[in-house]
Structure 1
Amino acid sequence: MAWMFISFMSTFNDEDFPEDAVYDIFIDETRDDHPHIPLDQEILEEAARKKAEKRYGSVGNVDPPDPIIMWWTEFTREPGKARSCGDKRCFFTNNRAFKNHKNMRAFMFYGTDFSPKDLPLPRLKHHEWALLHEESPKNNYLLCHGEALTLFNHTSTFRRESDFPITTQHLHSLQWLESDSYTKTIGQKNRYQQQDGLASVIYVHSDCDPPSDRDSFVKLLMKHVKVDSYGSCLHNKHLPHPIENPIEGMAHRDFYELISRYKFALSMENAVCKDYITEKFWRPLMVGAVPVVFGSPAIHDFFPDNNSVISILDFSSVKDLASKIKELNENDSSYDKLRTWKYTGVTNTDLLKILKEREWTPDDETTWTWGNINFVEAYECYVCKQVHETLEVEAKGDPHIPKSANWQHYGCPMPLKFDGDGKYGLFSHRNTWSTLWQNQKPVAESLRECIALGLSYCGDYLSRALKRQRDF
């Protein structure tokens, strides 16, 4: 019966089915004839091995002499390649057939795809885990909790506290930011309002009702100030051709041109998390609009200068913000003071230091230049060097204490809402996002327990642990 299941798993065409679905189909097809199927851990492991061989192929005679670093979540789709990182070399792959190779040293995970039900277990003492997650916490709330983050030895996230921070991942370069290619004069912006009927504020979002509750705030703002909303969210104005597709058109010259005609651009992230800063912040600055920002509580650290951005958090109510926008819109000299940096250059020494010391470039084909390395490859090399440091310590016979991440390496607080005055911080039991955030904490705790026990699969352990909590 066991080998019948293994054979089924290794031959089943599962491109459109998750692993659990394949398991359920097998159960349904065999239940009548075999009411008691002994699917113990050994059988599941052998089935997984067969499935991996089918998916990735056998490694055969491939025997890398260098430390092996594997993307468990297939982020780069690299089948196998040795690469130099300075004076160190590692073999990078996404082929799970190398999982038990003697030189296997580090597993890398892309945060969105990190799943408690699909991990390289049991975890061996010399196996290091590395996390890359530049995306919003809404992609995987499990990583908002310290119990899950402590599983990783190395981290690369938007948080400056991570081992390899990529906070400025969406900032192409200082030259790009200071460019005046799209910058309009005050007179031009006034004419766009008077002759073309443009509002003073632009809002372009098609990811509606996200964890940050930004749409609720913009609804309130629209009661006091005219806002042109081009995306799917609060839509009241159409994007022109050829940028009518809001996703594909975000990096189009015509989209930059459109934003540059507005005095203010609502730059609101889909999640509130320290250092989570995307193109929504940098893009208006580049084209010469003034961003009205909401997202990272530490966004002030990245302003081009002290008087270049309007932060929603600096106002006691949406009405007060609206009054400020109206005042600036009607006073040309006061408004243009917010753009002084576009004429004199960035003066924020901390931002200048980050860009000067940055060893990588954003992973963007439109701005990448020959000789530069993107942040993904740079992080791979960081992990490679860390692995070699560990090997050198082991070679000397010295005790090795592995590094461990903590909540500050990524963790984001529970999503809240805006109240009727436009003040952020309201907790609501009807908030689906906060419920999702809360539900992942016991999952993180149980996952850490499971891995510490040295189990080969955590899916069943998590299910039992969560059931006990619900029953309690």
Structure 2
Amino acid sequence: LTIFLFPSSHICFSIAHTLLFWPGPIETSHPLGPVTLLVWTHPFHRRQDLPDCYELFHISGCALTDDRREYAHADAVVIHHRDVVLGSDELPPEPRPSAQKWIWMNYESPSHTPQLWQLEGVFNFTLSYRTDSDIFLPYGYLIPRTHGTRSSLGRRAHLLHRPSNKDLRRPHLVAWVISNWSETHARVAFYYQLRRYIDVDVFGRAGQPMEDSSKGSVVRLLGRYQFYLALENSLHTDYITEKLWNAVQAGAVPVVLGPDRKNYERFLPPEAFIHVDDFPTVRGLARYLLMLKRNPLLLRRHLDWRGDYALYRPVMWSEHYCLACKTTRRGRGRTQVVRDLTKWFYS
């Protein structure tokens, strides 16, 4: 039994906590025949080579293509939301081939997902970060660590380690990497308050330049910081993005602004992050971070959990396509239509 007491008198009992352990799309075989999945548009029109699903994820029987001439023969079509609602592309032609499944794919929050109302009754499956999607794939997730964890998942599994003395005495306090700065965002208002009490090193378009914006570059940067502001651009159910997982991979304690604490605790142990809502004031949060900097033993309580887990970060967008293909195979012969897309996604 582990009991952790937050300064705001929140008590978390990790023995009663249930993490959402998503098993991933790995399979070795499937009795159904192969299917063809057509990628209608590459997300944001950034083309990438289509993967070999079996080689990368042990998902068999999947033929992926982005050749629209194969539309009439495709068992399913993956359609990226923003590319068909913002005028850059069109939906596939109707009538669609018999038994073909259309899959709605979207990894933006509801606040940045326009014109959903146009797509009611169009799709057969949803593919998103929402845990209640027909095809669920989050931005990242934890895996209980066993002897074979790394070998079973290969290089995509990042083994997490308990903190060393060096980790507990990192040279810098708080970092924030941001590319989409908007004065209307709650995270910007929060930052303005926090910087009144502690120094925050800001990187990206609104701050100091980065070497590059790749995931690896951000993780290397955060390896020098004790805390990272994992602040989402909008607050919605399950909208927990790569910002959180960059901090986890780097061994920095994430300070999160997004859905409520209970939602985060579906993905992380309660002591693994600091939620801004844990404190009645931003000043109280700042004082807590400074207290942790002066007390490495207390900081360790936020990091010791790491020794029990590995971090898995899905491959964008290859893994999404392969998981969609797998679901299409399993859904053969099943008829369903997503009739309340707007109501569901905003719920």
TM exceeds 0.5?
yes
* Alpha-carbon spacing, 1:210–1:71, altered in 2? closer, same or farther (3 Å): farther
| Residues 92-131 of structure 1 mapped to structure 2, 5 A cutoff | 92-99=64-71, 101=72, 103-115=73-85, 118-124=90-96, 126-131=99-104
Residues 1:319 and 2:283 aligned together: yes
Q: What's the CA shift for 1:120?
A: 2.4
Q: Distance in 2 between matches of 1:83 and 1:179?
A: 27
What do the CA deviations read for 1:155-206 (whole angstroms, capped 9, x no partner)?
Answer: 21100100110014477996655434996536632xx2xxxxx4x2111212
The amino acid across from 2:333 in the alignment is E
| Residues 62-461 of structure 1 mapped to structure 2, 5 A cutoff | 69-74=37-42, 92-99=64-71, 101=72, 103-115=73-85, 118-124=90-96, 126-137=99-110, 140-143=113-116, 148=119, 150-169=121-140, 176-180=157-161, 185=166, 188-189=169-170, 192=171, 198=172, 200-209=173-182, 212-233=185-206, 235=207, 238=208, 244-248=210-214, 250-252=215-217, 255-297=218-260, 298-303=263-268, 305-342=269-306, 344-346=307-309, 362-363=314-315, 374-386=319-331, 388-390=332-334, 401-404=335-338, 406-407=340-341, 411-412=345-346
* Alpha-carbon spacing, 1:184–1:331, altered in 2? closer, same or farther (3 Å): closer
The amino acid across from 2:319 in the alignment is N
What do you get for the CA RMSD once the two structures are aligned?
Answer: 4.0
* Alpha-carbon spacing, 1:73–1:384, altered in 2? closer, same or farther (3 Å): farther
The amino acid across from 1:73 in the alignment is T
Give 3-state SS (helix, strand or coil) of 2:265's partner. helix
Give 3-state SS (helix, strand or coil) of 2:256's partner. strand
Q: Distance in 1 between matches of 2:59 and 2:168?
A: 56
Q: What's the CA shift for 1:308?
A: 1.9
The amino acid across from 2:127 in the alignment is S
What do the CA deviations read for 1:210-267 (whole angstroms, capped 9, x no partner)?
Answer: 874312211111011211112222x2xx45xxxx33414x413xx5343223221111
Q: What's the CA shift for 1:150?
A: 4.1
Q: Over alpha carbons, which structure has the higher Rg?
A: 1
Give 3-state SS (helix, strand or coil) of 1:207's partner. coil
CA contact (8 A) 1:78 1:92 kept: no
The amino acid across from 2:83 in the alignment is D
What do the CA deviations read for 1:383-424 (whole angstroms, capped 9, x no partner)?
Answer: 2432x334xxxxxxxxxx4242644897247xxxxxxxxxxx
Q: Distance in 1 between matches of 2:342 and 2:132?
A: 6
CA contact (8 A) 1:69 1:107 kept: yes
Greater RCO (Cα-Cα under 8 Å, separation 6 or more): 2
- Among the aligned pairs, what percent are the same residue? 21
Give 3-state SS (helix, strand or coil) of 2:105's partner. strand
The amino acid across from 1:258 in the alignment is L
CA contact (8 A) 2:35 2:325 kept: no
Q: What's the CA shift for 1:379?
A: 1.6
**Range moving further from structure 2, 332-341 or 215-224:** 332-341
Q: Distance in 1 between matches of 2:68 and 2:236?
A: 33
Q: What's the CA shift for 1:363?
A: 1.2
Normalising by the residue count of structure 1, what TM-score does the alignment of the two structures yield?
A: 0.52
The amino acid across from 2:273 in the alignment is V
Q: Which runs of 5+ in 2 are unaligned?
A: 1-32, 151-156
Q: Distance in 2 between matches of 1:157 and 1:262?
A: 31
Q: What's the CA shift for 1:333?
A: 2.2
CA contact (8 A) 2:194 2:282 kept: yes
Determine which structure has the larger strand proportion and give its number. 2
Q: Distance in 2 between matches of 1:215 and 1:87?
A: 42
Q: Distance in 2 between matches of 1:134 and 1:383?
A: 20
Q: What's the CA shift for 1:151?
A: 2.4
Q: Distance in 2 between matches of 1:246 and 1:171?
A: 26
CA contact (8 A) 1:171 1:282 kept: no
* Alpha-carbon spacing, 1:184–1:87, altered in 2? closer, same or farther (3 Å): closer
What do the CA deviations read for 1:282-323 (whole angstroms, capped 9, x no partner)?
Answer: 2222222211011233112111x2212101133333223223
Q: Distance in 2 between matches of 1:376 and 1:154?
A: 13
| Residues 15-30 of structure 1 mapped to structure 2, 5 A cutoff | none
The amino acid across from 1:232 in the alignment is R
